[in-house]
């Protein structure tokens, strides 16, 4: 029913910026929260940013605070992640995620739907 498709990944130099997009189909008003996770080989997938639909509150991993901004387009089923001042350690696969049963969008176990991922590489 719900499908999440990410785009916007690519290669960028340190200090550069990228904007990731997540196009959602089968989206509904029952969505509790959506999030961007990232994963590096050999490391667990972690929440980079999340947004809670009822309140509009956003949350971020400490490592990306002040640099990343998560947002949802009004009138369009698209989630964004604006990434500024990128660092090599930001490299990884970024996944769009959604929860529909009122569980917070931080633990991976709470995620009901995942996108396929989009690769971000930050290097000189």
Residue among 65, 67, 71 at smallest CA distance from 51: 71
Rounded distance, CA 88 to CA 62, Å?
16
- Mean pLDDT to the nearest integer, 84-105: 95
pLDDT tens digit sequence for 25-83: 887 778 899 999 999 989 999 999 999 988 999 999 999 999 999 999 877 789 999 99
Within 13 A of 106's CA, how many CA atoms are on the CB side?
Answer: 6
Query: Token match 């009122």: residue?
Result: 102
Q: What is the pLDDT of residue 90?
A: 97
Rounded distance, CA 88 to CA 106, Å?
23
Residue among 77, 86, 96, 88 at smallest CA distance from 20: 96
């Amino acid at each position: 029913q719900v499908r999440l498709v990410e785009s916007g990944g690519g290669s960028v130099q340190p200090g550069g910026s990228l904007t990731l997009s997540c196009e959602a189909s089968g989206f509904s008003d029952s969505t509790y929260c959506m999030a961007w996770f990232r994963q590096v080989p050999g490391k667990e997938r972690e929440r980079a940013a999340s947004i809670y639909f009822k309140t509009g509150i956003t949350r971020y991993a400490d490592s990306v605070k002040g640099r990343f901004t998560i947002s949802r387009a009004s009138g369009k089923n698209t989630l964004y992640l604006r990434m500024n001042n990128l660092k090599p350690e930001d490299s990884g696969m970024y996944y769009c995620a959604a929860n529909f049963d009122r569980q917070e969008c931080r633990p991976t176990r709470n995620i009901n739907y995942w996108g396929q991922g989009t690769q971000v590489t930050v290097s000189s």
